[in-house]
Amino acid sequence: MSSLRAFALSISLFLVVPAAAQAQSTGGAEYVPPPPENMVAPGARATLLPDGTAAAPADAPEAVKQAIWAANKLQDKPYKYGGGHARIEDTGYDCSGTVSYALIAAGLLKSPLPSGPFMRWGDKGRGRWITVYSHPGHAYMVIAGLRLDTSAYASRTARLRKIARSAFERGPRWRPTSRPSRGFRARHPLGL
């Protein structure tokens, strides 16, 4: 009978304690937990989230999701010339270091490349899921419809729209606008 009484007491404590804790007010704003690290959105296009990261499309192959989630880890990193080449995990990244980081995480590249060699990497033309644009001095990529770039390039009309300020900072960021690809070679990983 004593074990039954202990069981009943533990249930009553369980029911009472949380209710008392919920009644207390901190007087501050309600805590909203950050989004999960590897967000997925329905469909076939990546979604830019309010915090500057991207949700991978549910319909995308696993390599595409891995590339997006890896690129999310770079969103607060500064631009650093040569960053991401001597060390894959670095304190900052340049354009080709950013592209290389996402591709390495996806298992699509073995070691970082400078922007010039990306002109001959993979297959010619745009890919269905991933396209790397490069010329001898710059590289960026589009993954599932969202541009990953260290350049804050944006059209004049894009600057007039209400877009998060961080999208116009220099450094590895998801960019909510497209950019002209004239002068760049488009390449993509086989099958993607």
**If you average pLDDT over residues 33-37, what whole number do you get?**
57
Nearest to 127 by CA among 112, 149, 143: 143
How do the domains of the chain map onto residue ranges? 43-188
* 140, 133 Cβ separation under 8 angstroms: yes
Q: Is the pLDDT of residue 155 over 90?
A: no
The predicted pLDDT at position 30 comes to 63
What is the spatial order of strands in the sheet that 138-143 belongs to? Answer: 123-124, 185-188, 130-135, 138-143, 146-149, 173-175
Does the domain formed by 43-188 have CATH 3.90.110.10? no
- pTM confidence score: 0.76
* 46, 148 Cβ separation under 8 angstroms: no
Q: Is the pLDDT of residue 187 over 70?
A: yes
How much is the mean pLDDT over the chain? 82
pLDDT in tens, 111-153: 999 999 999 999 999 999 999 999 999 999 999 999 999 987 7
Nearest to 74 by CA among 87, 65, 84: 84
Q: Which single residue is written with the structure tokens 């990261």?
A: 53
Angle at 165 between CA 164 and CA 167, to 5 degrees: 75
* 130, 118 Cβ separation under 8 angstroms: no
Residue 152 half-sphere exposure toward CB, CA atoms < 13 A: 14
**If you average pLDDT over residues 25-53, what whole number do you get?**
76
Distances from the Cα of 157 to the Cαs of 49, 66, 153, 160, 179, in angstroms?
Answer: 21, 32, 12, 5, 12
Residues in the chain: 192
